[in-house]
Structure 1
Amino acid sequence: MAEKVSNTKWFGMALQALIVLADQDGLCPSGKMAEKLESQSAFLRKILTHLVKADLIQAQEGRYGGYSLVKKPEEITLAEVYDAMKAENSPTGFLGVESKECFPPPTREALFQLKDEMEGWIVDGLKQKTVADLLNK
């Protein structure tokens, strides 16, 4: 199974892909979507794979295949998209506290707690928004 990613670029591209699909009638091939987003098809397909696994979009293979939303845009929260794109609690390097020698254990623990707290703030905010909020309608 492919590992989830933790990168804000992937999150942003996932949101843009969902917006394209929300404005699409029927299936949208990844090539057409990549062209609209000015992205590489292979990179976009990696992102779409995570959205399929999260049951946010569906894929139909074959010559006339493509992608479509599973739910209405107003039913897809940005927190769901964020969760589909992450592997750990926060983006790589986000308040990173990997150094064990730089800080004493209580300080490192305080930094880890702050990191978790900040992750909660982000997710709580993303739960309040949907893909529909991003559409120009």
Structure 2
Amino acid sequence: MKRSQHSCSANGKAFGLALQALAMMADHSCRQPSSHIADHLCTEATQIRRILAKLAQENILEVREGRDGGYWLARDPASLTFAEIYKALNVNEPFGDGMLDSTGDHPLGVRMHEALLDMAEEINQSIMEALGQRTIADLVTKASIDAN
């Protein structure tokens, strides 16, 4: 099944909001309602619910619906990498792919596409490697250090 694509800016924002929401949940072990998360992140509750729903589908979060419902981490924050979150959100237009999309189907564009293909793959691989080295627990620690 092909995953839907979104614009890079929308992907980046969803990814950033997801990281912050997960860090917030890791720092508070109780169930968090989406409205509470949205308030703390100064964003719309519907946007947060869409993001959290994707994370729940990928078993990163558990959810309980209803008046006493909310979201909580299904996994240890120390084992939950940024790369897993990135993949769960279907962020499938990394930087390198956007560069390739700019080339076009004209003769120069086709040659440029071929010339840039290896570089784009290297960039995408480097991004995933970097994201794989960071966890939600790291983000919680960093945010706590920066708050002091």
Q: Which amino acid aligns with 2:71?
A: Y
- In the TM superposition, residue 87 of structure 1 has moved relative to its aligned partner by 4.3
Q: Which amino acid aligns with 2:136?
A: V
Specify the SS of the correspondent of 2:108. coil
Give CA deviations for 1:56-114 in whole Å, capped at 9, x if unaligned: 11111111000000011101011101111234241597313351126243321222332
Higher helix share: 2
The separation in 1 between residues aligned to 2:22 and 2:91, in whole angstroms, is 20
The separation in 1 between residues aligned to 2:53 and 2:109, in whole angstroms, is 41
Matched, 1:111 2:119: no
Q: Which residue number in structure 2 is paired with residue 82 of structure 1?
A: 86
- Give the direction of change, closer, same or farther, for the CA distance of 1:109–1:92 in structure 2 (3 Å limit): closer
- Give the direction of change, closer, same or farther, for the CA distance of 1:87–1:37 in structure 2 (3 Å limit): closer
Matched, 1:99 2:97: no
The separation in 1 between residues aligned to 2:133 and 2:50, in whole angstroms, is 26
Gaps of 5+ in 2: none
Please tell me whether the aligned partners of residues 26 and 77 of structure 2 are also in contact (alpha carbons under 8 angstroms): yes
- Over the aligned positions, Cα root-mean-square deviation in angstroms equals 2.4
Aligned residues: 137
The separation in 2 between residues aligned to 1:62 and 1:91, in whole angstroms, is 39
Length-normalised TM-score, structure 1? 0.87
- Give the direction of change, closer, same or farther, for the CA distance of 1:27–1:124 in structure 2 (3 Å limit): same
Gaps of 5+ in 1: none
Please tell me whether the aligned partners of residues 64 and 70 of structure 2 are also in contact (alpha carbons under 8 angstroms): yes
Q: Which residue number in structure 2 is paired with residue 23 of structure 1?
A: 27
The separation in 2 between residues aligned to 1:123 and 1:111, in whole angstroms, is 19
Identity of aligned residues (%): 32
Show the 5 A alignment for 1:1-137.
3=4, 5=6, 7-90=11-94, 94-95=98-99, 96-101=101-106, 103-135=108-140, 136=144
The separation in 2 between residues aligned to 1:81 and 1:33, in whole angstroms, is 17
